[in-house]
Structure 1
Amino acid sequence: MAETMKFADPRLAELDGFTVTVDAVRQRADITLDRAPYNVVSMDQRDQLRLVFEALDADERVRVIVVTGAGAHFSSGGNIRGFLEATPEHVAHLAWNIAAPARCSKPVIAANRGYCFGVGFELSLACDFRIASETTLYALPEQKLGQIPGSGGSARLQKMVGVTRTKHIVMRSKRITGQQAYDWGIATEVVPDAELESTVDALVEELIAFSPIAQRTAKKLLNDTDDANLSIAIDLEGHCYSRLRTSDDFREGVNAFHEKRAPKFIGS
Structure 2
Amino acid sequence: MEELFDRTWAHIALSRREAIVEVRLARPEARNALNGELMEELTEVARLLRRRTDVPAVILTGTESYFSAGADLSASRTRAAQPTLLEARRTVMAGPDLCAAWEEIEAVTIVAIEGYCIGGASALAVSCDFRVMGASAYMRLPEVPLGMNMSWRTLPKLVALAGPSRAKQYVMFGEPCDAGRCIAWGLADEVTADGQALAAARRWADKVAALPPLPARMTKEAVNAIAAANAQASIYMDRDQYLLMSRTGDYREGIAAFREKRPGKFKGD
Q: Which range, TM-score by smaller chain?
A: 0.7 to 0.9
Distance 1:164 1:207 in 2: 32
1:184-213: per-residue Cα shift (whole Å, max 9, x none)?
111011111133222112111111000111
Q: Is 1:149 aligned with 2:142?
A: no
Partner SS for 1:96? helix
1:99-145: per-residue Cα shift (whole Å, max 9, x none)?
22211111000001111101111111001000011111111101232
Distance 1:97 1:197 in 2: 22
Describe the shift of the 1:219–1:77 C-alpha distance in structure 2 as closer, same or farther (beyond 3 A).
same
Distance 2:96 2:3 in 1: 27
Q: Is 1:43 aligned with 2:44?
A: no
Distance 1:219 1:60 in 2: 14
How many percent identity over aligned positions?
A: 23
Q: Does the CA-based 8 Å contact 2:15-2:21 persist in structure 1?
A: yes
Partner of 1:180: 181
Partner residue of 1:67 out of 60, 69, 74: 60
Partner of 2:13: 19
Which one has the largest radius of gyration? 1
Partner residue of 2:23 out of 31, 38, 56: 31
Distance 2:214 2:74 in 1: 43
Distance 1:4 1:220 in 2: 25
Partner residue of 2:71 out of 78, 94, 98: 78
Partner amino acid, structure 2, of 1:6: F
Relative contact order (C-alpha < 8 Å, sep 6+): which is higher? 2
Distance 1:107 1:153 in 2: 19
Unmatched segments (≥5 aa) in structure 1: 8-12, 230-268
The Cα of 1:60 is off from its aligned counterpart by 4.4
Alignment length (residue pairs):
221
1:8-39: per-residue Cα shift (whole Å, max 9, x none)?
xxxxx55342112233x2x1111101111521
Partner of 1:208: 209
Q: Does the CA-based 8 Å contact 2:12-2:41 persist in structure 1?
A: no
Describe the shift of the 1:76–1:93 C-alpha distance in structure 2 as closer, same or farther (beyond 3 A).
closer
Partner of 1:199: 200
Alignment of 1:225-244 (within 5 A): 225-228=226-229
Partner of 2:234: none
Partner SS for 1:45? helix
Partner SS for 1:99? helix
The Cα of 1:161 is off from its aligned counterpart by 1.3
Q: Is 1:6 aligned with 2:5?
A: yes
Q: Does the CA-based 8 Å contact 2:63-2:114 persist in structure 1?
A: no
Distance 1:174 1:47 in 2: 28
Q: Does the CA-based 8 Å contact 2:145-2:174 persist in structure 1?
A: yes
Alignment of 1:122-161 (within 5 A): 122-161=123-162
Partner of 1:258: none
Distance 2:51 2:201 in 1: 22
After superposing the two structures, state which structure 1 stretch, 78-87 or 211-220, moved more. Answer: 78-87
Provide TM-score, normalisation by structure 1.
Answer: 0.76
Unmatched segments (≥5 aa) in structure 2: 80-86, 231-269
Q: Does the CA-based 8 Å contact 1:64-1:107 persist in structure 2?
A: yes
Instruction: Extract structure 1 runs of 4+ deviating beyond 4 A.
Output: none
> RMSD value over aligned CA atoms?
2.2
Partner SS for 2:111? strand
Provide TM-score, normalisation by structure 2.
Answer: 0.76
Distance 1:221 1:61 in 2: 21
Partner SS for 1:225? helix
Partner amino acid, structure 2, of 1:219: K
Distance 2:118 2:153 in 1: 13
